[in-house]
Homo-oligomer: A and B are copies of this chain.
Amino acid sequence: MAEVGVIGLGVMGAPMAANLVAAGHRVRGYSRTPATRQAAAERGVEPAGSAREAASGADVVITVLPDGPDVSAVLFGADGIAGELAPGSLFVDMSTIEPGVATEVHTTLAARGIDVLDAPVSGGEAGAIEATLSIMVGGRPEVFERARPVLDVLGTTVVHVGGPGSGQTVKAANQLVVAGHLQILAEAVVLLRSQGVELEAALEVIGGGLAGSTVLQRKRAAVLSGDFTPGFRLALHHKDLGIVQRTARDAGVALPVTAAVAQLVQSLVAQGHGGLDHSALYRLTAELNGLEP
């Protein structure tokens, strides 16, 4: 069993840390929010007074933070943990950040003899609690093998997808697909509503063929009811589409339909709807057409 430091005890990080405790690891956890640290302590996570304290002496340090600048600050900022990571230790960033930032983290820490993985997850809060996350891992294959015993505690689909930054690239592509499918579903439902067909029956038959998708299965209830309680907030999906677009631009890649979808997400955030579930792309599409969502 390993000594694990977990930095970031939010909606995702807290249940992930608790699952590591349940699997027998010794886990020190840090969050900027005292109440969050306290809640984690009740589930067996030793509360640390700082990120450095959580990282100090750990075999494995895991970050689960909102965005790339947070990861950079925790590693390299004032009171950053980089100096606490011993040569031969393992650093796994499970946040969703830009592939380019992830690659920089790999390069900088590898030069100090630290093994690094980028390992963003999908599956949401439920997947974190139930330890059924999908985990997309970038880094050296031997480091992936080293980390598997820890990662397998957190998810059921743990896949090595390439070298440094590859996990973040796959997560970006994943978020591109989810947003695209949500918007396509929204437009299909608006078309169906405009013709007065029986929506439940229509979505049943559409879902049974080549048009079927997990988005249709899991989000149809939100779309049909107009209840966009998250779930996964638009503000976070907007952040992820920013990663998609910057990564594409840096690589010189044109993604025309993704760009259109990203504009619609931007519009929802600009209208103050960043706290709604991402299926609220339907709400905007309905409103564009003068329909009540």
Interface residues of A in 208-244 (CB under 8 A from B): 208-215, 218, 244
Partner of A177 from the list B160, B184, B261 (CB cut-off 8 Å) is B184
A198 at the interface (CB under 8 A from B): yes
Does A211 contact B255, Cβ atoms closer than 8 Å?
A: no
Residues on A facing B (Cβ under 8 Å): 99, 122-124, 134-136, 138, 157, 159-163, 165-166, 169-170, 172-178, 180-181, 183-185, 187-192, 194-198, 201-202, 204-206, 208-215, 218, 244, 247-248, 251-258, 260-261, 264, 285, 288-289
* Additional A-B contacts beyond A174-B206, A195-B251, A260-B260 (15; CB < 8 A): A123-B209, A124-B210, A157-B204, A169-B197, A170-B202, A170-B206, A174-B188, A174-B210, A178-B210, A178-B211, A191-B244, A191-B247, A191-B255, A213-B214, A256-B264
Contacts A/B (CB < 8 Å), 17 sampled: A99-B195, A160-B201, A166-B195, A166-B196, A166-B202, A169-B202, A170-B192, A170-B202, A174-B210, A175-B211, A176-B184, A176-B191, A178-B211, A190-B255, A212-B214, A213-B215, A256-B264
